[in-house]
Chains A and B, each alone.
Chain A
């Protein structure tokens, strides 16, 4: 079972993501609503994958990514981004983000990003994808 942690200040986004994750049998272990919370939560939960919004209050996604990477060099972080944030995404990638999902979020985009970030689980994700799209 893949453990995932969601970081986003928008409840709509986390709700959508949770739904998709749930349908693809990925375990959402935690939801943080800002960068600071995300860093402490990551240290506590040590999930396999993190999805991270870029623009957030208190501590933005890039800073949180840096902090998480400092703590765990192997952390797999996928950025959630929208059009116009390309430069920030590039920064995030330079700091070690494993991928990004461009809003609006769809099951297909989530699947592709997860597969790229975590090839080990690629097959499992593929298997559940059908169920995921059907339920979406």
Chain B
């Protein structure tokens, strides 16, 4: 390769230059060689001094001509040439000194020989073939003129000269011809080699004009017929102004500099890779010693493709690792997403559909998928998000969602997993997720008939129920661990220097699976911290912080409340900016902002459609992620406080009750509270007995609060002593009517109805609870009951307001619905 390049460097019509120099050289040599002969004849008195003068002068002329030629061709002038020139000049000067007289014939001859040499030299410049003929021709003319003037001496001399010239010309010409054909052949061979190296070779001058010699690969790369005389910087970097300017600047500086070292440094700054006509081309530039530059272009598209394939494989491995290590997690994610897809597709125009929810869900899924390394689906969702972020019409969003064809990209990712793990991998794991469902099913069934056993059996069963329920709990650390990897990868992607995520907390702590979604949504908070919170390394150094940022997460449990803290030591939240943005976005008015406390301003980041960055990045910034956290937190009945220190970092403290509605600890949620279990089962039993007496039939007893009647009355009673809590009974209007008819057979006035109903409710409560007391478990020593509580007590409303009121039972009858709630206040 090296050799080829070297050969190429001399390719500037090298044969021609070479031949010219050689011809000229032999001409000069001839002149020089003959001079002693001429001098010899001179001494014999056969030829005049003028001839010698002319001859030597001609020699000097040839010499000068050659000098010009070689300079023009930027060739080195060898020492031989200087020697030759020196002797030629010496011979020219000496005869001039002795030239004293003139003779017309002599002058004519002198002129002719000068002419012959000049002509020969000029001819040499044009083409070597003609040189010798011209030489010979002019010599012949000299011969003829000598003959005409009948000067025998001159005639002989000319004849000898002409003969020797002819011989020299023939041998030299033959040699030159051989050389030329050989160089032409070599050149062809070389071209052939160059054209088959699959590399683009070309040269260009300091004005960036391409020269006419180049290898054919160049034409393929630039997709053109010829590149001769075209601007190379435009050919290479047509669409990239910055790279083009760098290229031009580097070449400019190279042509101004004459230090090889410096030139190499300048050339090394030229972009080494660029996409030209969809080909990845590597670019190597060299300075040649004739003031030209050479480019070596290589098509490296295949290598690039291979590289991206390797990168893809790397991602696939990451995906597989993720899936294999958190299989259940992945199955859940997959099922959830498939459900969302189904929802998007089965949707009709009329069905209720919360657009902002869909956006939120998509965003969360995107984060989770990209965390898992599922490239296809996360890219598809990202594209879709960009498309729909400014749409608000439900129709448009749905049609774009359908267009985005998320199924297909999702299937691609799943296919990757199936290909590596086998299809049974994901299917077999479904069995495990069914197992969890099976637990719920068993739980449900047991609960449905638990009261049918006697008390001791019930207590045992309830203990089992509570244990079964706990089986579904998940170690909290399992939900946090994936973020370790995530933080590392994201930091790399964002070019931030971050220490490994610090997680502190009890490893064995398990929490209810209902926290899963919340834990997944924390991804937005991590993104936010990495993207906006943590500063560049330079900035961190400038402010005297540890250049390596730290994100940490800690959790603990206190009084059945999970405290989860997420903090970073980044720049903190800029509340002024947040406030400004909130006003700009129309989320709050300037006046509202003025009245807000610092803490409230911080919470603005949880507002919907709130983002302080202008454009959506792949990582964060669409402004819906954080609001998703807030709404899920609300669902979990938790709250968040923000500890913000501008410039020092921010901590988010999440308080999440381990069980829904902390003041509504129904018996099976309360840990180790057999008393509650025993009480509620007894009350159900007594309620059923009472209802059977009053209405005769019971349709069903279920575990959920399903009172469709909007008009519900209730009565509640306080337990104290061995058990501390409340019993609340709920009645639909029509069941109360039936109870009233049963209790007051003589009937009552319609205008008394409301008071009667309330009295009947309280009386029913008294009857049922009173009858239950004797059946309570022996472990509950003494239980006192208060008179029915005043209805102003609003506990019931808190219970009903919570999205999933945990009601122990609903007893459905033909006449109406009866509900029972037990509130355990033992903590």
Contacts and interface: CB of A to CB of B under 8 A. Distances in A.
B246 A86 contact: yes
Interface string B259-281: 00110011001000000000000
B805 interface: no
B670 interface: no
A87 B249 CA distance: 8
Given A11-B547, A12-B497, A12-B547, A90 B266 contact: yes
Interface of B: 246, 249-250, 253, 257, 261-262, 265-266, 269, 497, 537-538, 541, 547
Interface string A26-50: 0000000000000000000000000
Contacts of A9: 541
B547 A90 contact: no
Given A11-B541, A86-B269, A87-B249, 7 more contacts: A9-B541, A86-B246, A93-B253, A93-B265, A93-B266, A94-B253, A94-B262
Interface in A1-32: 9-12
A93 B261 CA distance: 10
B250 A10 contact: no
B249 A90 contact: yes
Contact of B262 (A11, A12, A86, A93): A93
A89 interface: yes
Interface string A83-107: 0001101100110011110000000
Contacts of B249: 86-87, 90
The number of chain A residues touching the other chain, given as a range, is 10 to 19
Interface string A71-82: 000000000000
Nearest to A91: B253
A87 B246 contact: yes
Contacts of B250: 86, 90
B253 A10 contact: no
Contacts of A98: 261, 265
A12 B253 contact: no
A10 B246 CA distance: 27
A21 B533 CA distance: 34
Interface SS of chain A: helix, strand, loop or mixed?
A: helix
Interface of A: 9-12, 86-87, 89-90, 93-94, 97-100
Contacts of B269: 86, 89-90
Contact of A10 (B257, B262, B265, B541): B541
Nearest to B245: A87
Contacts of A10: 537-538, 541
Contacts of B547: 11-12
B206 to A, nearest CB: 16
A97 B257 CA distance: 14
20 contacts: A10-B537, A10-B538, A10-B541, A11-B547, A12-B497, A12-B537, A12-B541, A86-B246, A86-B250, A87-B249, A89-B269, A90-B249, A90-B250, A90-B253, A90-B269, A93-B253, A93-B262, A93-B266, A94-B262, A98-B265
Contacts of B538: 10
B265 A100 contact: yes
Nearest 6 pairs of A and B residues by beta carbon: A86-B246, A93-B265, A86-B269, A12-B547, A90-B253, A12-B537
